[in-house]
Every structure is written in C-alpha cells, then in structure tokens.
Chains A and B, each alone.
Chain A
Amino acid sequence: MTAQALPAQLAAIRDDFLALEERDRLMLLLEFSNELPELPERYRDHTDLFERVEECQTPVYIFIEVEEDRSVHIFATAPRESPTTRGFVSIIAQGLDGLSVEEALDVPDDFPDSIGLRRAVSPLRLRGMSAMLARTKRQLRERAPQ
C-alpha cells in the first residue's frame, strides 16, 4: 500500500491540535466533546443497534451508515460524564463523516497518535481512541463489502 495522504478534514483536525500548546489541546478536545451531536431521532431509542467499544471504561456506542454513493456517516453516543471519551469519538465522527468507504478504511491506524495528545492525555487513554477507530473500520468492512 502506498502512503495515503490524510483526508483534508482529518488533516485539519490534526493541524488544529498541533498548533496549540499542550494544555490548550485538552481544551480543544473538550470542544470536540461538546460538539458531539445528539443521536438522530431514528436511533435514539435503539442503542441496542450500536456496537459497544469494550476497551473504553465508559460505554461508547458507534453506528455506521453507508449511503448509495458509498459515503460514510458515523453516529455515536457516550455519557456526558466521560468528556474525554466523547471528545475522541467526536473527532472520529467529524473526521470520517462524508468520506468514501475506501478513504475511511485508508485512514492510518495510528492517527490518534498523531494529534499531539500522548502527553496531555496519556498513551493508555489514547488506546481507547485507537480502539474506536479500529471498530469503526471493522464495521465498515462488514457493512460495505469491497
């Protein structure tokens, strides 16, 4: 596989984080956390349809839709008492939304390590974000066969 350029919207998120001092990166993560949209009406009472990401100590559920044109939409929910987890899943949802299945699958697995949060958040916590990305990709492979 040749080195893929990061999709523009993910590159923008990464650059926003890296432009900040470490302390301020936490505040940006909090902004992402606050921006996680409510679930659309059709899923609100159906969290049973969502896949729980077990690595996270807090329940976070991710659900993926693939449109006719193979563009991807991601919906997720995590409790308000877990702003870090919400921030992670919000970055993935915003960063991947609207990409094609192929573009989303090509997002590097180590993207969570590239946004400058290792020291501010700790490697152990970042593992939760890597797990979300891995789960998202696996669901994509299952739902949108090549």
Chain B
Amino acid sequence: MTIELDPASKFTAYAHPERLVSTEWLQAHLGTAGLVVVESDEDVLLYETGHIPGSVKIDWHTDLNDPVNRDFVGSAAFAAVLGAKGIARDTTVVIYGDKTNWWAAYALWVFSLFGHTDVRLLDGGRDKWIAEGRSVTTDATVVAPAVYPEVERNDAPIRAFKDDVLAHFGNPLIDVRSPEEYTGARTTMPAYPEEGALRGGHIPSAASVPWARAAAPDASFKTREELDAIYKGEAGLTEGDNVIAYCRIGERSSHTWFVLTHLLGFEGVRNYDGSWTEWGNAVRVPIVLGADVGVAPAPVGAAALTR
C-alpha cells in the first residue's frame, strides 16, 4: 500500500480495513502524491455538476464496458482509460460515487478483475461527502497522464458465468435485487418498452438480501456487527462458504461482493454479472417464483466435478 491507511476505529472490525477510507481521511489526504480520487456514478453527468476537488471521472458504461461484446473492456482499453486519468499500477485509488456507492463498488470490482492492488472505497460516498458540507467544484481537474501497463484481466477468482452458477448449486447464492424482482411479482405496464428479461423470479436456493441493507442511512456501510447479523444470521452464511452474488446486470451485486469479501472476509466470493438479464432469458435454466428460496438442483457441468 502506497499511502497510509485510515485508522478509523469503525474500520478495524472489518476483515480488510485497508479497503475503506473515511471522508475525514480523504479530506486530509487530498492532493497527496500517489493518490487518485475517482468518481463513478450511475448518472453520467453528475460529476460535471460538482465533484471532489482534483478527482477524475470513470464511467461504468462508457469507460469500463466493452462497446460491442457484453463484457468488460480488455487490457488495452483499461490501460488507456486509467493512464488518461493519471493512474499508474502502484497508484492508491479511492473511488466514491452516488447512490450509496453502488456504481463505485462496481468500478472497484472491475479494477479488481485487473488486479489493481490498492483500490479503496470512500465510506458513504458522494452523499456523505456532500451531506457533511465538504467542498465540491466544477473546475476541470488537470490530469498528468500516467502509463498504466496492459495487464491481463483475471476473471475466474471473483467473476462467475452462467455455467459456474449451474455448477455451484448446493453452495450459497445471494440475490441482492428488490423483493419484487426476487419473487417475480413485477408486472408489465402498458406502453412499457421491453423489460430486459423474459422470465421473472430467482435462481433456486438464492437467499434474498437486497444490497442496500448493507448501508446505513448516511450511505456508509453498517458496522461489522450489523453486517454479521444480516449475512451470517438471516442469510445463513457460514465461514468458509463459497458464495455467488447476482442482481440484474451485476452492479448492485458488486456492492454485496465488496461487503462479503472486504468487510466480512469471505474468500472466493464471485459476482455473477450476467445476472438476471442473462438467467431470466436463458433457455432451460431452473427458476423459482415467489418468496420461497426453493431447492437447489444437482450441480451440473464439468466445473461441478472440479469444485
């Protein structure tokens, strides 16, 4: 880690406190050499209305998603984006964003696919920074471009594909969507364009834990104790579990992936970014309707044999 950690006492209870910084810490470290602050929002224009002084913007759609294939950008594009934002391989990156760090967590997960070592979230994100009256600016950030190496993306440890989910049955799944999406109750209204998925419901045996339950009202993460009660208590996860999380397109579940991996210390948690827009359109995959979690079918596929 290039820059000293935030010693905030709340963080010490988490499994990986080095993954979070507080608003106080960030305020005190703005402008530090080797630190780049990244804003990543759902709204592509929000950064332009006012951002943390010196921060740069990385957009989940236009910077991190491949424009043709349904996939993330490759090595060359990722290197180009980060270099242009002044980020080198050893830079300490602090990401913050709107909507309770929803998209910031997604950006952090994509950084992790490329193995960027020191990437942290601002606890509470944009909402907490602004609520505390800290300064924002519309001044354009002057970036000194850096050289980011072209590193291979390593999906397997933290990203699940549909076949991985089929092979995973018998291990815990967490569905982080709203209850209406989980049960399949959401109905089509007149004059609506396509809904994105042909079928409603959830993957059999997936526990329902809407992603935002991990957040306190001020958009910061709940305490370790509160998170343990939700994920280990209610959802029944136990230490050593091999977990896959999913939502609609993999963004909300990035937030839960962060919680399970970095705050609660589960190893090998994977985010199924194909999520419901893939599963709900796939032919002959099992689906459960209603609030009941349903029973996991037997795992299938070659991956099932090796796990």
Please report A residues at the B interface, Cβ cutoff 8 Å: 26-27, 29-30, 33, 54-55, 57-58, 80-85, 87, 119-122, 124-125, 127, 130-131, 134-135, 137-138
Contact = CB atoms under 8 A, between A and B. Distances in A.
Given A30-B49, A33-B45, A121-B61, 9 more contacts: A26-B48, A54-B192, A81-B98, A82-B43, A121-B44, A122-B61, A122-B62, A127-B193, A138-B191
B1 interface: no
30 contacts: A29-B45, A33-B45, A54-B189, A55-B192, A55-B193, A57-B42, A57-B99, A58-B43, A80-B49, A81-B46, A81-B98, A82-B46, A83-B43, A83-B45, A83-B46, A83-B49, A84-B44, A87-B45, A120-B44, A120-B62, A121-B44, A122-B62, A122-B65, A125-B44, A125-B61, A130-B193, A131-B192, A131-B193, A135-B191, A137-B191
B48 A138 contact: no
Contacts, number: 58
Interface in B12-62: 42-46, 48-49, 61-62
On chain B, which size bracket covers the interface? 10 to 19
Given A119-B62, A122-B61, A30 B98 contact: no
A89 B82 CA distance: 32
A85 B99 CA distance: 14
Contacts of A55: 192-193
Interface string B177-210: 0000000000001111100000000000000000
A111 B46 CA distance: 24
A80 to B, nearest CB: 8
B14 to A, nearest CB: 28
A26 B193 contact: no
Given A30-B48, A120-B62, A122-B62, A134 B191 contact: yes
Interface in B88-112: 98-99
Nearest to B59: A122
Nearest to A122: B61
B192 A84 contact: no
Contacts of A125: 44, 61
A122 B41 CA distance: 13
B67 interface: yes
A26 B44 contact: yes
B179 to A, nearest CB: 16
Contacts of B99: 57
B45 A30 contact: yes
Contacts of B189: 54
B266 to A, nearest CB: 28
A80 B50 CA distance: 11
B3 to A, nearest CB: 29
Contacts of A29: 45
B68 to A, nearest CB: 12
Nearest to A128: B193
B255 to A, nearest CB: 14
Between A26, A83, A85, the greatest number of chain B beta carbons within 10 A of the residue's beta carbon is seen for A83
Given A54-B189, A124-B61, A131-B192, A119 B67 contact: yes
A138 to B, nearest CB: 4
B226 to A, nearest CB: 26
Nearest to A22: B62
Given A131-B193, A138-B190, A81 B62 contact: no
Contacts of A26: 44-45, 48
Contacts of B98: 81
A81 B190 CA distance: 28
Contacts of A124: 61
Contacts of A80: 49
A123 B45 CA distance: 15
A33 B50 CA distance: 14
A83 B190 contact: no
Of the listed residues B45, B48, B192, the one surrounded by the most CB atoms of chain A closer than 10 A to its CB is B45
B100 to A, nearest CB: 12
B43 A84 contact: yes
A136 B98 CA distance: 28
